[in-house]
Structure 1
Amino acid sequence: MLDVLVIGGGNAALCAALMASEAGASVMLLEAAPREWRGGNSQHTRNLRCMHDAPQDVLVDAYPEEEYWQDLLKVTGGITNEALARLTIRASSNCRDWMRKHGVHFQPPLSGALHVARTNAFFMGGGKALVNAYFRSAEKLGVQIRYDTPVVSVELDGDRFVAACTVSGERIEARSCVLAAGGFESNRDWLREAWGQNGRGEWPSDNFLIRGTRFNQGVLLKSMMEAGADSIGDPTQAHMVAIDARAPLYDGGICTRIDCVSLGVVVNREAQRFYDEGEDFWPKRYAIWGRLVAQQPGQIGYSIIDQKAIGRFMPPVFAGVTANTLAELASRLGLPERAFVHTVEAYNAACRPGSFDHTALDDCRTEGLTPAKTHWARPIDTPPYYGYALKPGVTFTYLGLKVNDKSAVHFGGRPSPNLFVAGEMMAGNVLGQGYTAGVGMSIGTAFGRIAGTQAALAARKEFEHAAV
């Protein structure tokens, strides 16, 4: 009989398969997508947030555990399991050598407005290269890989895994199993059910775009919850980013993100500002803007900058709408002209002189304006002016299965002896809300490796028990 079955094909699943195989287990990995779309959302990633007490190869300065924890605590508002969060943080400090052993390469540190050269290690070639390296390594280790094989449910004996059931009706037995099949962000019906209607009679999720794979339908997650697995998380919470409104429905990836928010102002379709654009460094705040835009009329916003901002942010894949006057820009964006000009002029008048420095929390702020802009506030007064329409882009959902430090699925508070979960399917244990750049890969890598190790141990125990 097969030792370990891994369900999923992204970073967490691959880490689990590699670790289980290294531990001597026979492993099969089932990927719902066809080969050309393998890798789930991991193919769209770029980096891993890493704790380090001193400079390390591609990481500059230091990023100690307590600072990482405080960054996570701030974005989650305390909705996190500290023990599991710290486990993730510590694991992020020592995984890169293992990753390199499996063919992952890291690029030299970035500089500039992204402000992440100290905290994040970037993959050479991005997430697609990482996924391809892991698949190559898995094949060399003898992992059986099957594509186009969605799993719809698992067969249980109490809290024990027995077999997986595929969409075609096939039943695959194994001594242990790792679930790493992603969240439900691609399931439009489930998103609609979770978000419901707002007070304006709108169905907000109908206007959401999905930044990643179309294959994360949440079928296995829902099946596990219906089978009695303990769940955690709010179904409306997700890694949700403000992205270009012209992005495709699926697989737009990182290039559709609009990164100039902190350099200007953001207005809704009524030309009103609604949040502090300069609250904190962009990598710590970019992931709140999808949800903020989702709460606006029509689930749309507009990022507005002038010529002074050009060259200070990663340019998006689509060019912005440009104009030489504010009134002309409003017209081209379809915004109410008088209200838009008034909003920008009121902001300009509220800006106080300071020493602008987009690499620091500077003293450029507004006074007497609601909402305030607390950093990087400079008048928008230098044409040409640029506008980017924004829509909420969902990366992954946080509703998932409850785990312990062994990554075990729980039933009625009791951990399963041979069923484990990693990646998006359990990220809600660490991310109750909010996000900070690269932490999703940290969670997937940490718990994928734990789940693979524990699944191999469980399989050995199952074999020894059967032999007796």
Structure 2
Amino acid sequence: MVDVLVIGGGNAALCAALMAREAGASVLLLESAPREWRGGNSQHTRNLRCMHDAPQDVLVDAYPEEEYWQDLLKVTGGITNEPLARLAIRASSTCRPWMQKHGVRFQPPLSGALHVARTNAFFMGGGKALVNAYYRSAETLGVQIRYETPVDAIELDNGRFVAAHSGNQRFEARTCVLAAGGFESNREWLREAWGQNERGEWPADNFLIRGTRFNKGVLLKFMIDAGADPIGDPSQSHCVAIDARAPLYDGGICTRIDCVSLGVVVNRDAERFYDEGEDFWPKRYAIWGRLVAQQPGQIGYSIIDSKAIGRFMPPVFPGTRADTLPDLARALGLPVDAFMRTVDAYNAACQPGTFDHTTLDDCRTEGLAPPKTHWALPLDKPPFYGYALRPGITFTYLGLKVNDRAQVHFGGKPSDNLFVAGEMMAGNVLGKGYTAGVGMSIGTAFGRIAGTQAARAARGDTADSANTPAADAAGESTGAHRAEA
């Protein structure tokens, strides 16, 4: 019997396994995917949103706690647990040295990527490199790893973990960390969550999955059915507008369309439906998937002219190109007359200003509904480009309720040996919306807390003032220091 069983193979699971092992616990990690697909959605990530009060190597200026909190508050619309959110925010300021110790390397943001040089630390080699570094470190430290081992049931005794089941295999452990992701690749659950709209459509049928095909939500559903306290709206998710030509699974970052704020977005009836220039793209890109999901046929079209070229990270597929706007509408299959009315009204409403895509500039529309509040330039320089958009689900927000020790709750009572991290609890912080890199902040903070707390519970230790969850998230637990000595 091992001390700590970690179920899952992404960032949160790996952070939990590494912290538990550093604290002296024996650890077994079960990953549902084959080795070549290990890492869950973490393999598709690029960066971590980091609080910092002064410049730090790859981070410029400062990004203090209160600004981070206000950014999160804005995108979630207040649907967030402030103490848990602030715990993750503060942990983001101190985790990078620990990450580097385990082989993660950072680089400045790529030119033209996102305007996040101040807020986000980018992984050298992206999420795949981060995942590989953590697995190498885990293997070196003696973490046992089993691939192709999806867990479908948990044995519980009055809220305490006893064993996990994968088919006919049974895994006992003194404590357990659940970090097996959400249900984004479970089409039937997505259909149930989104239901049928007023047009008789099932929106989820047109969703693409940006992340892993292995997150079916089997363990999440089992835990909720077993009486674990749930949190979050099953229809809420990290949902991005991505290229309609993207693959069904694992398209990742390169399928995202980043030119939305530089032009207009129309639905299949050639009508605009939201303010493309509401705020900086890293703060708003994750609302566009849901917006497109609410449109007829769950499809939209991002339209730009040649002035936008070079101002956004180009996606993997080239856009549809035409020398005139009517020709572009025809190439995209849009009603030409309606399209021209929309674009002509937008062009006429654009007010003179000083364009600057790095600031909330004064280029706006007047007398247009919906407005475009920033970066509004007429679409008048050929050639013109269009990108068909579909909703791309990254991860779902329905999860398990936790406290600051990452404990699973049953009827409001925290379990003393069952913990949860990553997507399976992110809904405590992310009730809706998203801002770039915050998912990795949550997974890293609560993965580290869960691993340390699980190791402590396996030893029979009780929490004390020297071993707070904040210290766990910062890598400052006594166990961690003993392991490093």
Q: Is the pair's TM-score, using the shorter chain for normalization, greater than 0.5?
A: yes
Cα RMSD (Å) of the superposition?
0.9
Aligned mates of 2:77, 2:157 — CA distance in 1: 38
Alignment of 1:267-278 (within 5 A): 267-278=266-277
Kindly indicate whether the alpha-carbon contact (under 8 Å) linking 2:401 and 2:425 is maintained by their aligned counterparts in 1.
yes
Q: Aligned letter for 1:270? A: D
Q: Tell whether the 8 Å contact from 1:111 to 1:117 is kept in structure 2 after alignment.
A: no
Alpha-carbon distance between aligned partners in 2 of 1:170 and 1:300, rounded to the nearest angstrom? 44
Aligned residue in 1 for 2:199: 200
- After TM superposition, list the pairs within 5 Å mapping 1:89-100 onto structure 2: 89-100=89-100
Return the alpha-carbon distance in structure 2 between the equivalents of residues 308 and 450 of structure 1.
47
Kindly state the Cα deviation for residue 36 of structure 1 after the two structures are TM-superposed.
Answer: 0.5
Q: What is the one-letter code of the residue matched to 2:335?
A: P
Paired residue secondary structure (1:328): helix
The answer to whether structure 1 residue 228 and structure 2 residue 227 are counterparts is yes
Tell me the equivalent position of 2:208: 209
Taking the aligned partners of 1:372 and 1:462, their CA distance within structure 2 comes to: 58
**Contact 1:267 1:302 (C-alpha < 8 Å) held by counterparts:** yes
2:73 aligned partner: 73
Task: Name the SS for the 1:247 alignment partner.
Answer: coil
Structure 1 unmatched ranges of 5 or more: 464-468
Structure-2 separation of matches of 1:341 and 1:33: 48
CA distance in 2 between partners of 1:115 and 1:36 (Å): 32
Runs of 4+ in 1 over 6 A off after TM superposition: none
CA distance in 2, matches of 1:113, 1:279: 19
Deviation at 1:109, TM superposition (A): 3.9
Aligned to 1:256: 255
2:188 maps to which residue?
Answer: 189
Rounded to whole Å, the distance in 2 between the matches of 1:163 and 1:392 is 37
C-alpha distance in structure 2 between counterparts of 1:324 and 1:119, whole Å: 38
Does 2:327 align with 1:342? no
TM-score, structure 1 as length reference: 0.98
CA distance in 1, matches of 2:444, 2:72: 17
Q: Is 1:392 aligned to residue 386 of structure 2?
A: no
Which letter maps to 2:342? Answer: T
Separation of aligned partners in 2, 1:292 and 1:243:
12
Give the secondary-structure state (helix, strand or coil) at the position aligned to 2:106: coil
Paired residues for 1:45-84 under 5 Å: 45-84=45-84
Whether the 8 Å CA contact 2:112–2:313 is kept in 1: the answer is no
* CA offsets 1:320-339 (integer angstroms, 9 cap, x no match): 00001110000000000000
Report what 1:313 is aligned to: 312
> Which position in structure 1 is the counterpart of 2:132?
132
Match of 2:446 in 1: 447
Distance in 1 (CA, whole Å) between partners of 2:301 and 2:320 is 10
**Partners of 1:237 and 1:432 within 8 A in 2:** yes
Cα distance in 1 between the residues matched to 2:91 and 2:355: 37
For the residue of structure 1 that corresponds to 2:107, the secondary structure is: coil
Q: Secondary structure, in 3 states, of the residue corresponding to 1:174?
A: strand
Which residue is 1:424 aligned to? 423
Q: 1:466 matched to which residue of 2?
A: none
How far apart, CA to CA, are the structure 1 residues paired with 2:2 and 2:386? 55
**What aligned pairs does 1:399-414 form with structure 2 within 5 A after superposition?**
399-414=398-413
Which residue does the alignment assign to 2:16?
Answer: 16
8 Å contact kept, 1:112–1:359: no
Give the conservation status (yes or no) of the 8 Å contact 2:240–2:290: yes
Distance 1:391 1:192 in 2: 16
CA displacement at 1:114 relative to structure 2 = 1.5
Q: Tell me the CA shift for residue 151 of structure 1.
A: 0.1
Conserved? CA contact 1:185–1:395, under 8 Å: yes
Aligned-partner Cα distance in 2 for 1:242–1:409: 33
Superposed CA offset, 1:229-269 (max 9, x none): 00000000000000000000000000000000000000000
CA distance in 2, matches of 1:253, 1:75: 22
Distance (whole Å) between structure 1 residues aligned to residue 164 and residue 72 of structure 2: 35
Find the aligned partners of 1:369 and 1:113 in 2 and give their Cα distance: 30
Structure 2 CA distance for aligned equivalents of residues 259 and 335 of structure 1: 21
Instruction: Kindly state the Cα deviation for residue 113 of structure 1 after the two structures are TM-superposed.
Output: 6.1
Given that 1:59 and 1:120 are in contact with CA atoms closer than 8 Å, whether structure 2 keeps it comes out as yes
**Paired residues of 1:175 and 1:462 also in contact (CA < 8 A):** no
2:141 counterpart letter in structure 1: L
Q: Structure 2 CA distance, aligned partners of 1:205 and 1:106?
A: 36
- 2:241 is matched with 242
Structure 1 residues 224 and 53, CA, compared in 2 at 3 Å: closer, same or farther?
A: same
Match of 2:6 in 1: 6
Give the stretch that moved more between structures: 274-283 or 101-110: 101-110
3-state SS of the aligned residue for 2:279? coil
Number of corresponding residues:
462
Matching of residue 436 in structure 1 with residue 427 in structure 2: no
> CA separation in 1, counterparts of 2:113 and 2:324?
27
**Do 1:113 and 1:312's aligned partners in 2 also have CA atoms closer than 8 Å?**
no
Q: CA deviation at 1:33?
A: 0.2
> Matched residue of 1:202: which SS?
coil
Which residue in the other structure is 2:40 paired with?
40
Give me the identity figure in percent.
Answer: 84
Q: How many angstroms does 1:108 deviate by?
A: 2.4
Matched letter for residue 139 of structure 1: E
Q: 1:280-359 alignment to 2 at 5 Å?
A: 280-359=279-358
Deviations 1:253-300 (A, max 9, x none): 000000000000000000000000000000000000000000000000
Partner of 2:99, secondary structure, is: helix
Kept in 2, the 8 Å contact 1:407–1:450? The answer is yes
Preserved contact between residue 81 and residue 429 of structure 2 (Cα < 8 Å): yes
**Are the aligned partners of 1:113 and 1:359 in contact in 2 as well (CA < 8 Å)?**
no
Q: Is the 8 A contact 2:401 2:409 kept in 1?
A: yes
Shift of residue 112 of structure 1? 4.1
Aligned 8 A contact 2:51 2:65 in 1: yes
- Checking the alignment, whether the CA contact within 8 Å between 1:3 and 1:176 is kept in structure 2 is yes
**Residues 438 and 69 (structure 1), Cα distance of their counterparts in 2 relative to 1, 3 Å cut:** same
Residue identity opposite 1:144 in structure 2: Q
C-alpha contact 2:65 2:89 (8 A) present in aligned 1: yes
DSSP-derived class of the 1:215 partner = coil
Does structure 2 retain, via aligned residues, the 8 Å contact 1:110–1:116? no
Deviations 1:49-78 (A, max 9, x none): 000000001100000000000000000000
Which AA in structure 2 matches 1:141? L
Ranges in structure 2 where 5+ consecutive residues have no aligned partner: 463-485
- Alpha-carbon distance in 1 for matches of 2:367, 2:253: 36
Matched to 1:136, the amino acid is R
Quote the Cα distance in structure 1 between the aligned partners of 2:450 and 2:389.
37
Question: Aligned letter for 2:28?
Answer: M
Tell me how far 1:153 sits from its aligned partner: 1.1
- The amino acid of 2:96's aligned partner reads R
Question: What TM-score does the superposition give when structure 2 sets the normalisation length?
Answer: 0.95
